Amino acid sequence: MAEILVLVEHVEGEVKKVTLELLTLARTLGSPSAVWAGPGYSAEAKARLAEYGAEKVYLADAAEIADHVVAPKAQLLAQLVSSAAPAGVLVAATAEGKEVAGRLAIKTDSGVITDAVGLAEGFVAEQSIFGGGVNVHSRVTKGTPIIAVRPNATAPEPSAGAAAEEQVTVTLSDADKAAKVVDRVKQEKGARPELTEAAIVVSGGRGVGSAENFAIIEKLADVLGAAVGASRAATDAGWYPHQFQVGQTGKTVAPQLYIAAGISGAIQHRAGMQTAKTIIAINKDPEAPIFELADFGVVGDLHQIVPQLTEEVDKR
């Protein structure tokens, strides 16, 4: 079966969910080989990769790989493209993954497709463009297909793989070492799931009314085990931090459930959430465009509805 390289995203040794999604997708196209770059590899990480079908793990865990930002990862993949001749390379369409994909495309003289929301036989990638108004199917026509796939493009499904390890030594040029990490500042890890990986997202918009009122959005999120998101109107007003903005100029989410409270449903907001499996809108205006998109709609004042919903969910 054709070998497919999957670049593992990991934080402090923990394999990110998006990697499990990429392994799941890779299995539909061939035989997935996970590529681990940088320190932090462990028996648990190996078990996780095996659980989701990695037949092989290319292990390049030298510290200097993490010391030079993204260039060494592109170099590692380029080496493997040359030595293993895989049918394709999948990376997560995160800021880092997309930069790796671009650099790898240059190094291997290959085509690259970013922000794929789906992937079918023959490495046909699906992209959602124009604020989600049009879906495009594309295929790489030169070199090795390099596809950056958005988080939540598919649900991760376990399927045992051998995860046979193969150590790889990366040869870094001066250009690969041209940028050096000088400091790492650990972000406080909140109790909530990461926005782009969460199965449930509760978002608030201008209708929430103030920074203080976001507490009701957070409470609902917490009883549901959800992440909190916000519209740009809410982040621009300073009611919620920009890193939680959902939409064209914010994060793209594709959870199982998206609850939009006090959000009108502008096209730029939809661009970041319309592939959610189920959408619930809470809005006092029955004509709000979000209702065209929603699977379930509640017309009313969110300041009454959201706390009631929180209370009901909390009872169960």
Residues 6+ apart with CB under 8 A from 198: 192, 226, 227, 253, 255
Nearer to ligand FAD, 148 or 290 (CB): 290
What is the spatial order of strands in the sheet that 257-261 belongs to?
227-230, 200-204, 257-261, 278-283, 296-299
Q: Pick between residue 88 and residue 250 the one whose CB is nearest to ligand FAD.
A: 250
Q: How far is the CB of 305 from ligand FAD (least distance, A)?
A: 8
Closest CA to 73 of 95, 103, 45: 103
Q: Which of 269, 279, 291, 309 binds ligand FAD (CB under 6 A)?
A: 269
Q: At what angle do helices 17-27 and 43-51 cross, to 10 degrees?
A: 40
Q: Please select the residue that binds ligand FAD; options are 28, 42, 135, 249, rule is CB under 6 A.
A: 249
49-88 mask for ligand FAD (x: CB under 6 A)? ----------------------------------------
Which of residues 163 and 233 has its CB atom nearest to ligand FAD in the complex? 233
Q: Using CB under 6 A, which of 232, 258, 274, 297 touches ligand FAD?
A: 232
Q: For the CA atoms of the chain, what is the radius of gyration?
A: 21
Exposure class string for 107-127: b at 16+ Cβ within 10 A, else e: bbebbbbbbbbbbeeebbbbb
CA distance 233 to 76: 42
Which of 6, 125, 263, 279 binds ligand FAD (CB under 6 A)? It is: 263
Closest chain position to ligand FAD (CB): 247
Residue 280 near residue 302 (C-beta atoms within 8 A): no
Q: Quick check: 231 binds ligand FAD (CB under 6 A)?
A: yes
Binding interface with ligand FAD (CB under 6 A): 205-207, 231-234, 245-250, 262-264, 266, 268-269, 272, 282-285, 288, 301-303
